[in-house]
Amino acid sequence: MKRPYDLQDRGREADYAAYFAGMDSSMLQKIALTTAHFPPAGTIADMGSGSGRGTFDLASMATGLTLVGVDIDPKTIELARRTYARDNLRFVEGDIAGALFDAGSLDGVLDSSVLHHVTSFNGFSREALERALDHQVAALRDGGVLVIRDFVVPRGPERVWLELRTDDGDAEGPVPGLSTAALFERFIETFVGSLGRPSIARRETPRDGARRFDVTHRIAAEFVLRKDYRDHWDAELREEYTYYSQAEFEQALRARGLRIVTSVELHNPWIVEHRFTDKIALFDHDGAELPTPPTNYLIVGEKVPASRGVRLVERGRTSLARPEFLRLRRYRDRDDGHVFELACRPNRTVDVLPYFRDGGRTFVVCKRGFPRPVVLAASDAPDLLGQTGAGYLTEPLSVITGDGEAPRDAVMRALDERAGGVDVLGIDEPWRYYTSPGGLDERVEAFLVEIAPWRGEREIDNYTPFVDAGVVTYVDATQLLRACHVGGMFDARLELNVSRLCRLRGLARGPWIGAELELVEHAASPRALELPTPRARFEPLPDDGAPTAFLEVCRGEFVELAADERALATATFEYVRPRALSHNTLTMLPVVRAGGVLWVGLEARDLPAVQLDTGSSTLLTLPALRLPRDVGSLDAAVAHGLARLEAEHDLRARRAYALGGRYYPSTGVTPEVAYPYVVDVAEVGPRCALVFRPLDEALALPLSDAHLLTALFRLSHAMG
């Protein structure tokens, strides 16, 4: 009698090798998305380990961990054992839906593109999936982490129009030669999932060489995500990729006592570029184009005791004319009369990034699971990537300076209070930057601190109004950066400090795993305008009680909930947001390649936040746009941004590339989230006032805008 999973048998060893070669191309992203979330020591189970390559890579990168690769296929386990060997690595045969590990024996569980096998090969039933989650969570210790990277039911309307090409293949014949539209019709004839046989209807298509189908959004995603796996078409048809929506994933983890650290749709740039763009299109029934489905989905949950919270929610919000913590100030530009509004914090922020070297690797010490409810603050505009979470983040060891406290004294206080004291080997000179200077007076003073090797995790003495403040732990610096670049971690200040550490110490960052930048070579370099002369353009306006026009300070009431929805704690926080625009910011770094040199376009702006600190209002930044509230997708955001770039900066773009994952500029003050892009410029118009400089020269300038620094650091990594 065959077991359900016997249908996964690929045949000969050569067939397995070919199958795994395709799967393993995504291993770098898999490692990046997972390593930074796992604890630094303990035992991790890689469920559905397949070829063993990813498990081996994890074991090689995280030498303090013991990796156990689990797969139900005995041929796969035999191949993995024969191919990969390390002292901290072993492979076992087993059904991941069963109880394979003792309760509390694991520090982490990884389910990478495997849970859809559990549903698919058990009659598309969720019961086996529920059992798998029950057993996996039971096997985790408190503080252990469950990482799921899989597919997700797409957001949006239930039914869509799916437009596919008819001119890219044959209308009939074997699967490898079929056009995309013909392959879809073959797919509809043969695919049966949990929803039964799909129903479709043809619709008129305004474009030649294409055919449009009326189909459920979920079935459209099922086809689009597998249409290029033609060499294994029959095997792929046995699987149903999507089984949970994002909300269902989150509910499944929270119900089992997991605090969700990350829950985000992923859009693999290579897949989007080579398999979606100009090949498929989705529309709602009004004809509006929809974003392509996520290529993957990532959710990370941390197991916490029943007495602790699993999420923070905003239950109430009040607009404040007179805030108590933040301050709203107005400044007039003496040159043009424009009035700027500025939200100010009462004290300065000091970031501390301890780091140590061990075994040829560099680790950074940071806070994990720190409550930041402001990032979840209610907004009238949707998040562009479906990102949700619990409001607990990984970030630097930051402190707010006391009255008259010297920054270096604050550094030592942070090390003592947060990390329980460390052996300090050296403290670098401070580095100062503005998190979001267009509307926020927050200049961070950041210190790199070299320490002796530091081990273990330490609970933070709780100075928050919530049940706990997370832990201090250590993470491989390279993997942390890569997690930021692929959308798995989000704190801008942590990424900036680690990027600076890598640059100053000459640390290898590994290959870039974001979008490949295919930049066109120009015949001539752009005009190199002079850097702006420092000046002070702003004068303060009296506080006459007049309402602000652009910024709004809100008081949010945030509740910490346990897994059973009990309210454990309630606290209020003030935060700032635009009155009419969304919390989404698009940053666009213009680039021109000429003569083998990459030139970047810097924008010279005058801002009161800079003048308050330095006496000069001049700041080098990059075009950054707060998006309207009706812009609800990345595609729409990029189209809006490119139109603004042409209208305001006289630049015509060839195309825009995502420059890594999104990030939060200032988690304690604003729910703002930034989406960084690099723009391959086709033409620089005569009205363009951007200051173009070679990338290396730009990085050597005394820059202090966090958006620009993030873009330049990522671009330098992407260009090698």
Residue with tokens 């930041």: 372
Q: Are strands 673-684 and 584-594 parallel, antiparallel or unpaired?
A: parallel
Q: What is the pLDDT of residues 109-147, one digit of tens each?
A: 999 999 999 999 999 989 999 999 999 999 999 999 999
Sequential DSSP letters for 303-345: E--TTS-SEEEEEEEEEESS-SSSEEEEEEETTT--EEEEEE-
Tell me the three state secondary structure of residue 84: coil
Cβ atoms within 10 A of the Cβ of 349, count? 21
- Are the CB atoms for 644 and 631 separated by under 8 Å? no
Rg (CA), the chain: 26
Q: How far apart are CA 234 and CA 225, in angstroms?
A: 15
Domain boundaries, the chain: 4-153+242-271+288-303, 312-505, 521-535+580-718
Sign of CA dihedral 576, 580, 585, 590: negative
Sequence-distant (≥ 6) Cβ neighbours of residue 90 within 8 angstroms: 66, 67, 68, 69
In eight-state DSSP terms, residue 472 is E
Domains 4-153+242-271+288-303 and 521-535+580-718 share a fold: no
| CA dist., res. 362 & res. 668, Å (int) | 28
Q: How far is CA 135 from the centre of its chain?
A: 28
CA dihedral 566→572→574→578, nearest 10 degrees, is 40
Distance CA 640, CA 212 (A): 26
Nearest-angstrom CA–CA distance, 517 and 678 = 9
How far is Cα 625 from Cα 277, in angstroms, rounded to an integer? 25
Angle (CA) 362-368-373 rounded to 5° is 140
Is 521-535+580-718 a domain of CATH 3.40.225.10? no
Pairing verdict, β 624-626 and 584-594: antiparallel
Cβ contact 216:191 at 8 Å: no
Q: Token digits for 154?
A: 């797409």
Q: What average pLDDT values come out for the chain (720 residues) when binned by 10 residues?
A: 51 52 54 76 93 86 89 92 94 94 96 94 92 97 94 94 96 96 95 88 90 96 96 91 95 94 84 90 93 91 94 92 91 94 89 92 92 83 66 90 85 89 92 94 95 88 94 89 85 96 90 86 91 93 85 95 95 94 95 95 95 94 94 89 97 94 93 95 95 96 96 95
**Can you tell me the distance from the alpha carbon of 689 to that of 556, in angstroms, rounded to the nearest whole number?**
40
Q: Which two tokens stand for residue 542?
A: 């009296």
At residue 713, φ and ψ (nearest 5 deg) are -60, -45
Q: How far apart are CA 135 and CA 140, in angstroms?
A: 9
CA-to-CA dists, residue 529 to 433, 535, 689, 693, angstroms: 24, 17, 8, 9
CATH superfamily of 312-505: Nucleoside Triphosphate Pyrophosphohydrolase (3.90.79.10)
**Which tens digit of pLDDT belongs to each residue from 534-565?**
999 999 999 877 788 899 999 999 999 999 99
- Structure token digits, residue 641: 């941004």
Architecture of domain 4-153+242-271+288-303: 3-Layer(aba) Sandwich (3.40)
Within 13 Å and on the Cβ side, how many CA atoms surround 259?
32
Helix (H/G/I), strand (E/B), else coil: 374: helix
The structure's pTM equals 0.90
Give the pLDDT confidence score for residue 15 in this predicted structure. Answer: 58
Question: What pLDDT, on the 0 to 100 scale, is given for residue 206?
Answer: 87
The answer to whether the beta carbons of residues 301 and 536 sit under 8 Å apart is: no
CB distance 213 to 184 below 8 Å: yes
